[in-house]
């Protein structure tokens, strides 16, 4: 009976892997091929540097309202999450982001709330973009493939404006606030249909419903993970390294079956780790802590909660395209940004460029976690395993405040602006190795010698593609029969 049960289970193991694998191998092949594309072409977004490059200099002489007046006009009852001044075409405006996610724009000339931006204003905003040639309005959209995520919900509908440049750049300008919220170019749009969209299973009709999309991807990647485990199990059962098959072969199969078997044994572990880490990226069961710093923590760090900062706005001594008004350890600061992305803190009283005393930053850091103490103060001068640049630039040097709480929390702080750049606890450090390391091969040794990273990922992707495509071919032949 035991032998009969074993034979039955093995038979169903083979049957299950064979028939479910016909579908899952299509997903595996899609993921490996699209993953290679994603190594070089990211999903369209708008970095701070790109956003600042498209802003005109602030016309300080037109600013009639102080930040306090702007917060009063917006009905703020506490200091907002974000408060900044920039230009909307020829008009200076305050942009306010509340702790509840609500976004408002207030005219700095007369204090009116800006809730509707005209086509003419949107085109004037686009005209300032460095790539602008002959901007034209193409459409007014609520949501499309590139603006599908919920982060744009407070800014919809969006003006879609083509800049008329050789790269085919298109801007998305909010009809509510006049902000440039996204840009895409022809290369990104074409390659992402072979990269991020199939890799993330990202069609608009599915991705616009975030919870449904997450559930679908969890189930698909979960089933693929199970099929991968059964494939390795079968591969081990059928391989013979000592008592070999006829002609000294280690596999009983020939042709595509042999390719599938042998490459599966070689690359199977990488197929599994990539699938597992991809499944893990959706944080099933909310096991891993979020990476964002909570509002309560940021409020303690600021040391100020009332909707006030200064009664009079100083005129900065140098040109700026944006000014952020922040609090740090109970003291107000203006962070001025230039068109090249450089940010400098300004003295609130004089408007002159100043430097933040490092002692003040460490003092403010002690407020982040009131139930714990800063056990270690680190000034990172170079990247390490947890603070590194891969696809995205990261500031150096950076301060790392290490706390002695149960989660062993670290905060990374900019010594230039005082901004909290990231929060990492033991849960996120584990996630870094289970996702970033396994899925993106973010190993410091490889990243330090970038061609080595490309070669390793390419080779493993080719092996994974062979395993997947051979499974697709076998499945197609079996279905035809």
pLDDT in the model for residue 82: 94
pLDDT in the model for residue 376: 94
Task: Give tens-digit pLDDT for 18-33.
Answer: 888 888 999 999 999 9
Percentage of the chain beyond pLDDT 70 is 99
Task: Give tens-digit pLDDT for 352-381.
Answer: 778 888 999 999 999 999 899 999 999 999
* Residue listed under structure tokens 């390793």: 456
Between CA 43 and CA 155 the distance in angstroms is: 20
Mean pLDDT over 343-348 rounds to 87
Task: Give tens-digit pLDDT for 288-325.
Answer: 877 778 888 899 999 999 999 876 777 776 789 999 99
Please give the backbone phi and psi of residue 42, each rounded to the nearest 5 degrees, phi first: -85, 165
Between CA 465 and CA 457 the distance in angstroms is: 12
Closest CA to 25 of 479, 464, 461, 471: 471
pLDDT in the model for residue 471: 87
Task: Give tens-digit pLDDT for 258-288.
Answer: 888 889 888 888 899 999 999 999 888 888 8
Domain residue ranges in the chain:
2-40+205-289+452-480, 48-189
Closest CA to 463 of 272, 279, 268, 275: 268
Between CA 364 and CA 360 the distance in angstroms is: 6
Angle between helices 256-280 and 450-480 (to 10 degrees): 120
Between CA 301 and CA 361 the distance in angstroms is: 9
Burial annotation 78-115 (CB, 10 A radius, 16+ → b, else e): ebbbebbbbbbbebbbbbbebeeeebbbbbbeeeeebe
Given the DSSP bridges, would you call strands 420-424 and 410-413 parallel, antiparallel or unpaired?
A: antiparallel
Q: In what order do the strands lie in the sheet with 170-174?
A: 136-141, 158-162, 170-174, 180-184
Task: Give tens-digit pLDDT for 90-147.
Answer: 999 999 999 988 999 999 999 999 999 999 999 999 999 999 999 999 999 999 999 9
- Which region among 8-17, 176-185, 412-421 has the lowest average model confidence (pLDDT)? 8-17
Between CA 427 and CA 264 the distance in angstroms is: 32
Angle between helices 256-280 and 210-238 (to 10 degrees): 140
Instruction: State in Å, rounded, how far the first CA of the chain is from the last one.
Output: 34
């Amino acid at each position: 009976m035991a032998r009969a049960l074993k034979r039955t289970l093995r038979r169903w193991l083979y049957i299950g892997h064979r028939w479910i694998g016909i579908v899952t191998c299509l997903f595996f092949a899609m993921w490996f091929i699209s993953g290679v594309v994603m190594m070089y072409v990211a999903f369209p977004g708008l970095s701070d540097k790109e956003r600042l490059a498209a802003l005109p200099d602030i016309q300080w002489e037109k600013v009639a309202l102080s930040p306090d007046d702007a917060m009063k006009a917006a009905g703020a009852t506490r200091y907002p999450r974000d408060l900044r001044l920039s230009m909307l075409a020829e008009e200076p405006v305050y942009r306010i982001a509340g702790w509840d996610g609500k976004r408002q724009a207030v005219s700095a000339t007369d204090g009116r709330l800006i809730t509707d931006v005209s086509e003419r204003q949107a085109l004037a905003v686009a005209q300032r973009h460095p790539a602008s040639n002959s901007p034209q309005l193409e459409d007014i959209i609520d949501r499309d493939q590139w603006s599908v995520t919920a982060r744009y919900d407070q800014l919809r509908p969006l003006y879609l404006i083509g800049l008329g440049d050789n790269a085919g750049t298109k801007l998305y300008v909010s009809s509510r606030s006049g902000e440039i919220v996204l840009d895409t170019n022809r290369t990104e749009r074409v390659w992402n249909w072979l990269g991020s969209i199939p890799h993330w299973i990202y069609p608009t009709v599915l991705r616009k419903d975030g919870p449904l999309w997450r559930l679908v991807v969890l189930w698909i990647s979960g089933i693929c993970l199970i099929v991968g485990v059964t494939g390795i199990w079968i591969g081990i059962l059928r391989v013979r390294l000592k008592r070999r098959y006829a002609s000294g072969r280690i596999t009983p199969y020939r042709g595509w079956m042999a390719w599938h078997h042998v490459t599966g044994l070689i690359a199977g572990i990488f197929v599994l780790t990539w699938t597992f880490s991809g499944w893990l990226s959706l944080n099933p069961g909310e096991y891993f802590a979020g990476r964002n710093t909570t509002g309560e923590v940021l409020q303690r760090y600021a040391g100020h909660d009332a909707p006030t900062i200064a009664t009079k706005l100083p005129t900065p001594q140098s040109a700026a395209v944006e000014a952020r008004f922040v609090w740090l350890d109970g003291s107000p600061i203006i962070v001025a940004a230039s068109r090249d992305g450089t940010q400098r803190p300004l003295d609130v009283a004089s408007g002159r460029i100043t430097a933040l005393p490092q002692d003040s930053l460490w003092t403010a850091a002690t407020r982040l976690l009131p139930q714990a103490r800063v056990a270690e103060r680190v000034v990172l001068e170079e990247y390490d395993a947890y603070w590194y640049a891969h696809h995205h630039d990261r500031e150096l040097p950076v301060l790392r405040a290490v706390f002695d709480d149960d989660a062993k929390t670290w905060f990374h702080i900019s010594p230039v602006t005082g901004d909290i750049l990231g929060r990492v606890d033991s849960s996120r450090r584990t996630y870094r190795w289970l996702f970033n390391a396994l899925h993106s091969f973010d190993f410091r040794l490889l990243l330090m010698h970038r061609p080595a990273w490309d070669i390793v990922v390419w080779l493993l992707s080719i092996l994974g593609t062979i395993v997947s495509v051979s499974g697709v071919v076998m499945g197609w032949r079996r279905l035809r029969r």
